Amino acid sequence: MVDILCKYIRAERTGNWELHLQTVSEMLSYLAACGHNHYTKSAWIYLQRMSNLHNDHPDVYQHFREGLHVVRRSDRYWAGLSSDLIIEQVLMRSLKTSGGLTRGRGMTEQQRLTWLLSKPACADVNCAMQELTGVSYNTGEQNKDITKARQARDWKDTHKILKYLRDMNPFTSDTSLRSISTGVHAHSTVNVDKAKDVGNAILISMEGKTAAEYNFKKKDQVITLDTKNAVKVDGIAVQIDPQLLFQRLTIIAAKATENFEDVFRYELCSYPPALFDSSLLLREPQ
């Protein structure tokens, strides 16, 4: 999955159309297996339409082959940006900053159209002012990711990962599926490690059906370690609270020792309740 993500970023940054379609296709099985149903349907239809683009719209296909399916704000090789990212970085940013619609202009349809249609004229005025004053905006050839500050930060992050893996070593002789952060072993029915095969089975069942008539079933998706964190008591599913279980086990162990008071000198929790509402949810700052 990390390799797919790296290839997708490369396809977008370099404007590689074929690699873009390849990586989106490779993502499909994982999207389906994880329950991202809208993404699965949308990407499925998108790939079908784009695979026939050279016949339906050969001129658009040729432009995409030349790298124009992404937007570039500079001439550098590694500078391609997805269109939705450009909308956030340029259009939405200018809409919410000084001179934008949210600064007292209003958001009616007429005001939105006037503001949008004026942007090309504003760009021409900007270029004319740069020529008049002899001041221009240029970007260097150096990639920002190879600056000394960025290299130092990446090196620091790499050491953090290595230190974490030394403390939580996943490369052991234990072949069972478990969480390297908590040490919890997975239930025998957990199959998240086979996400690609599960996703491919879902994609096969989608063949020959329209997006409107196909319904995803939760039982066909992968079973994660979290979804199996429950047991049945008298036929009723009971969710296990890891913190409560940890506290009770600690108290039982403390009662079996003579130094019962020493145990309660420490906070009996698997995470600090002063900072967390649950093991994955931070409290709001005060």
3-state DSSP of 189-229? CCCHHHHHHHHHHHHHHHCCCCCCCCCCCHHHCCCCCCCCC
- Quote the crossing angle between the two packed helices 58-65 and 17-33, to the nearest 10°: 90
Q: Return the SS3 of 78.
A: coil
C-alpha to C-alpha distance for 8 and 15, rounded to whole angstroms: 10
Cβ atoms of residues 231 and 240 within 8 Å: yes
Q: What is the pLDDT of residues 167-222, one digit of tens each?
A: 888 888 888 888 887 777 787 888 888 999 999 999 999 998 888 889 999 889 99
Q: What is the pLDDT of residues 53-99, one digit of tens each?
A: 999 999 999 999 999 999 988 888 888 999 888 888 888 888 888 77
pLDDT-derived band at 30 (thresholds 50, 70, 90) equals very high
Check: pTM over 0.85? Answer yes or no.
no
pLDDT at res. 171: 84
Range among 24-38, 79-93, 138-152 with highest mean pLDDT value: 24-38
pLDDT at res. 242: 63
pLDDT at res. 130: 87
C-alpha to C-alpha distance for 102 and 106, rounded to whole angstroms: 6
For tokens 């790499």, name the residue.
158
Each domain of the chain, given as residue ranges in start order, spans: 1-81+194-223, 144-190, 241-286
C-alpha to C-alpha distance for 91 and 263, rounded to whole angstroms: 59
93 compared with 41, residue with greater pLDDT: 41
Q: Name the token pair of 207.
A: 């063949």
80-81 and 281-282 beta bridge pairing: unpaired
Q: Is the pLDDT of residue 160 over 60?
A: yes
Q: Is the pLDDT of residue 245 over 80?
A: no
